[in-house]
Amino acid sequence: MTITNLFDLTGKVALVTGARRGLGQALALTLADAGADIIGLGPNAMDETGAGVTARGRAFAEITADLSDSQDFEALVAKAVAAHGHIDILVNNAGIVRRADILDFPESDWDDVMQVNLKSAFFLSKAVARHMIDGGIAGRIVNIASILSFQGGVRVPSYTASKHGIVGLTRLLANDLAPHGVTVNAIAPGYMDTDNTEALRNDPDRMRQLIERIPLGRFGNSDELATAMLFLAAPASTYVTGSVVTVDGGWTAR
């Protein structure tokens, strides 16, 4: 197999949650660059992402669903399959963060974050896995974890708990789905230039502390995460499952 074929997704269909902008949009466009048709799932219109996918010569479909609410995930997967015929790749990217001192942290913020970041990721994975198994698809599931999957962080208790959970869920799903030829892996981004880090980037003192702690001396960008995701979604990673790839500028190595 040539290097080109190892990363060729022609004929594949990828379902990407939270694909409207930021990391999710970069992930969707990278998959389209590799030849995959894209289904975006989220609460708002994804016109920019759709335009980017079609400009690359790939098909785009959009499913409107707010993962902060309970969903019929089997029905959502049925809609996705109706749009493009099958799902070969699932990228669980959707995520939110809530910040507050732990003594003031509200229960609603705990529930909201866990619903989007962990509960929805599991039940969507379950529904997609059923589709893959029933269709004999050697699929790929890629979850977006975090460096806070391995550390505590500060002022983000529900986010930290959810991202620890994502790593455990990734390993559990990898074990259960391996006999069916479905691989499950995760990417753990460090501090990236996204909406979720806007509050940090607007705090000069905190920003200085973070930059000093990152060996590469900067925040990462969406494209640097997307290339790692492509490896885990592509034929190149057929013997990789249950793994967590850190993309963090060396943060966890220090």
Q: E strand or H helix at 247, and its extent?
A: strand 244-247
Domain membership flag for residue 254: no
**pLDDT recorded at residue 86:** 98
Domain membership flag for residue 253: no
Domain membership flag for residue 126: yes
**pLDDT recorded at residue 195:** 77
Model pTM score: 0.96
Q: In CATH, what number is assigned to the domain containing residue 33?
A: 3.40.50.720
Tracing tokens 């959970």 back to the chain, one arrives at 165
Domain membership flag for residue 124: yes
**pLDDT recorded at residue 200:** 83
Task: State the distance between the two ends of the chain, measured CA to CA, in whole angstroms.
Answer: 37
Confirm if 112 and 98 have CB atoms less than 8 A apart.
yes
* Token pair belonging to 203: 């705090």
Q: CB under 8 Å to 97, separation ≥6 — which residues?
A: 113, 156, 159, 196
Tens-level pLDDT at each residue, the chain (254 residues): 688 899 999 999 999 999 999 999 999 999 999 999 999 999 999 999 999 999 999 999 999 999 999 999 999 999 999 999 999 999 999 999 999 999 999 999 999 999 999 999 999 999 999 999 999 999 999 999 999 999 999 999 999 999 999 999 999 999 999 999 999 999 999 999 887 788 888 899 989 999 999 999 999 999 999 999 999 999 999 999 999 999 999 999 99
Whether 191 is a known active-site residue: answer no
Domain residues for the domain of 217 are: 3-245
Catalytic residue of the set 159, 191, 219, 251: 159
Q: What's the number of domains the chain is made of? A: 1
Domain membership flag for residue 80: yes
Helix ranges (H only) for 115-156 are 120-134
**pLDDT recorded at residue 107:** 98
Give the count of beta carbons closer than 10 Å to the beta carbon of residue 97. Answer: 22
**pLDDT recorded at residue 1:** 67
CA distance 120 to 167: 14
**pLDDT recorded at residue 128:** 98
Domain membership flag for residue 9: yes
Domain membership flag for residue 251: no
Minimal CA–CA distance to 56: which of 82, 38, 44, 42? Answer: 38
